[in-house]
């Protein structure tokens, strides 16, 4: 019978195996073995008939065909970057893909060394002392940094720039709703950057930390050094949320003395996937290592003195500290972190710099070309990297709709007449010109 063959794909005991096993266990039937009250056993769940692999493949391809990807000019927290073929070819090897968390270190040296190399690459890129093995995404990494800051400063107020990615602010609100953490927004100047005067006033009222984002949600680069000294003078901690690819050319969180730096790391070797899986990069200064949550891998020696890798500082974590742990997290985005590690290793310092420069070049080309036309103007004066806001005469939603018809995702509508655009190294000059042509024609 077809169905029988199907579910044998997942259970490989034969009828004879099962009979023998039940006999060894000393029961006559499975029902006799099952310690579940009869009242709870209600018969089969009504699911549609099962698909075989060919049918499944056809079905899922049909569903996939309903997706209509567009040429990307949208950022806002997720950016499309080119992923070299070697990244997935290596990370989807069964040895990486189907391994569990490396608790048995001697049988997991591959995963462990890769995590150590991930931590090292991220520290090098961010100029920070410590990186953990990763969090769920940028927003949750930020939430964990805020928790650490409130404990360190024994103060429950967190300030954040109004130019923080709005979904991040929402995640923070969700995380802290019951934790008595007060979130206060710091307004912006007209040039799109954080208002330092307002920041100073709020800092003087007392705060554990300020969350800076640079490039910020509107693409603007913040004066990180000035902000850092202002924050530190007022005895608060600086948490920086950054774009990791931008660090190929932009100043590093370490260089402006950030205490914690977090990021969405998807852009390093991971596809967009409609928003996930993601990679929460989490870094901090050395002195905060015991206050940070999440997994860490350390270099060690085996009993012959040979180099080995092992998960370390685990006594901070939930399986030991239970309700006193700094977080309940007990996983990392190991595969996404592996993708990032392979990506950074493949590109090297020069390759990464080239990618960052190409982003800078493409975004500025797009902005210059588009703003040549009436009805489009750069909204903020502050310098930008690969995202920027334009004010539009035609409503932004209408522009996006028109561009979608021609095969382009023309950014994100921030307000009725404001468009957040992004261009990365994946866009060609031809595509940029074509997008400008489409947008300028919309009336």
Partner 1 sequence: MYNQENCKFAATHEWAYIENGVATVGISDHAQHEISDIVFVELPKVGTKVEQGKSCCVIESVKSASDIYAPVSGEIIEVNQAAADNPSIVNQAPHGDGWLFKIKISNQDEVKNLLSFDAYKATL
Partner 2 sequence: MTNAYPHNVLSIEKSVKGRRGVRVCTTSCKAENILPSKYLRKTGINLPELSEFDTVRHFTNLSRLNFCLDTHFYPLGSCTMKYNPKSYDVLSALDNFTSLHPSLPEANAQGTLQIIYELDNMLAKITGLSAFTLQPSAGAHGEFCGALIARAYHASRKDKARTQIIVPDTAHGTNPATAAMAGCEVVNIKSAQNGKVDLAELQKALSEKTALVMLTIPNTVGLFEEDILQIADMVHKAGALLYMDGANLNALIGLVKPADMGVDIMHINLHKTLATPHGGGGPGAGAVGVRQGLEDFLPNPRVICKDGKYSFAKKSKLSIGKMKSFYGNIAILIRAYCYLKQLDGEALKDIAKNAIINANYVRVKLKEYFPAFFDTKCMHECVLTIDKTKMPTVKTLDIAKNLLDKGFHAPTIYFPLIVPEALMIEPTETENKQVLDNFIEALKEIYNKALHTPDALHDAPMNCPVKRIDEVSAAREPNLRWTK
Residue 69 lies near partner 2 (rule: CB under 8 A): yes
By the 10 Å C-beta count (0-12 exposed, 13-18 middle, 19+ buried), 70 is classed as: middle
Of 122, 147, 268, whose CA–CA distance to 209 is shortest? 147
Total of residues contacting partner 2 (CB under 8 A): 201
Distance between CA atoms of 266 and 141, rounded to whole angstroms?
13
The C-alpha angle with vertex 349 and arms to 95 and 96, in degrees rounded to 5, equals 5
Distance between CA atoms of 212 and 182, rounded to whole angstroms?
17
| 375 Cβ contact list (under 8 Å, min separation 6) | 392, 393, 394, 440
Residue 290 lies near partner 1 (rule: CB under 8 A): yes
Residue 74 lies near partner 2 (rule: CB under 8 A): yes
- Closest contact distance (angstroms) between CB of 125 and partner 1 is 28
CA distances from residue 26 to 11, 19, 33, 163 in whole angstroms, order as listed: 21, 11, 9, 66
Residue 227 lies near partner 2 (rule: CB under 8 A): no
Distance between CA atoms of 76 and 402, rounded to whole angstroms?
20
Residue 416 lies near partner 2 (rule: CB under 8 A): no
Comparing CB distances to partner 2, the nearer of 78 and 186 is 78
Comparing CB distances to partner 2, the nearer of 126 and 202 is 126
- Closest contact distance (angstroms) between CB of 229 and partner 1 is 26
- Footprint (CB under 8 A) of partner 1, residues 340-369: none
- Footprint (CB under 8 A) of partner 1, residues 305-324: 313-316, 320-321, 324
Which of these segments, 177-185, 236-244, 386-394, 433-441, binds partner 2 (CB under 8 A)? 177-185
Distance between CA atoms of 3 and 149, rounded to whole angstroms?
56
DSSP SS3 for 393: coil
CA distances from residue 37 to 26, 32, 33, 41, 46 in whole angstroms, order as listed: 20, 11, 12, 7, 21
Residue 197 lies near partner 1 (rule: CB under 8 A): no
Among 201, 205, 233, 275, binds partner 2 (CB under 8 A): 275
Residue 415 lies near partner 2 (rule: CB under 8 A): no
Residue 353 lies near partner 2 (rule: CB under 8 A): yes
Residue 301 lies near partner 1 (rule: CB under 8 A): no
Residue 178 lies near partner 2 (rule: CB under 8 A): yes
Among 145, 163, 396, 400, binds partner 2 (CB under 8 A): 400
Residue 416 lies near partner 1 (rule: CB under 8 A): no
Residues that bind partner 1 (CB under 8 A): 290, 313-316, 320-321, 324
């Amino acid at each position: 019978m077809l169905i029988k063959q199907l579910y044998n794909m997942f259970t490989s005991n034969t009828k004879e195996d099962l009979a023998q096993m039940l006999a060894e266990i000393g029961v006559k039937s499975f029902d006799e073995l099952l310690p579940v009250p009869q009242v709870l056993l209600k018969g089969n769940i009504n699911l549609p008939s099962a698909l075989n692999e060919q049918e499944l493949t056809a079905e899922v391809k049909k569903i996939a065909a309903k997706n209509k990807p567009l040429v990307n000019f949208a950022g806002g927290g997720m950016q499309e970057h080119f992923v070299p073929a070697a990244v997935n070819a290596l990370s989807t090897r069964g040895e990486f893909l189907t391994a569990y968390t490396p608790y048995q270190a001697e049988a997991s040296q591959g995963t462990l060394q890769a995590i150590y190399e991930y931590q090292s690459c991220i520290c090098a890129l961010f100029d920070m002392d410590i990186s953990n093995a990763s969090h769920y995404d940028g927003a949750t990494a930020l939430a964990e940094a805020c928790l650490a800051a409130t404990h360190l400063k024994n103060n429950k107020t967190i300030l954040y720039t109004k130019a923080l990615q709005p979904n991040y602010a929402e995640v923070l609100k969700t995380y802290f709703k019951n934790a008595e953490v007060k979130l206060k927004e710091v307004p912006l100047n007209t040039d799109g950057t954080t208002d330092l005067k307002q920041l100073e006033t709020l800092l003087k009222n007392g705060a554990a930390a300020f969350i800076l984002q640079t490039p910020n949600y509107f693409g603007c680069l913040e004066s990180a050094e000035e902000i850092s000294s202002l924050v530190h003078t007022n005895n608060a901690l600086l948490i920086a949320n950054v774009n990791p690819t931008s660090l190929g050319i932009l100043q590093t969180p370490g260089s402006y003395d950030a205490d914690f730096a977090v990021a969405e790391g998807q852009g390093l070797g991971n596809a967009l996937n409609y928003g996930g899986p993601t990679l929460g990069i989490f870094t901090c200064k050395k002195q905060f290592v015991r206050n940070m949550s999440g997994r860490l891998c350390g270099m060690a020696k085996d009993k012959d003195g040979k180099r080995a890798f092992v998960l370390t500082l685990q006594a901070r974590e939930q399986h030991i500290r239970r309700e006193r742990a700094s977080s309940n997290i007990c996983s990392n985005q190991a595969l996404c972190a592996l993708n990032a590690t392979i990506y950074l290793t493949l590109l090297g310092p020069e390759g990464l710099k080239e990618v960052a420069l190409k982003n800078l070049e493409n975004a500025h080309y797009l902005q210059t070309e588009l703003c040549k036309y009436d009805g489009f103007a750069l909204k903020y004066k502050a310098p930008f990297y690969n995202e920027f806001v334009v004010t539009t005469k035609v409503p932004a939603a209408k522009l996006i709709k028109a561009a979608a018809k021609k095969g382009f995702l023309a950014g994100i509508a921030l307000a009725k007449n404001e468009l957040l655009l992004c261009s990365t190294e994946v866009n060609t000059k031809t595509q940029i010109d074509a997008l400008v042509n489409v947008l300028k024609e919309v009336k």
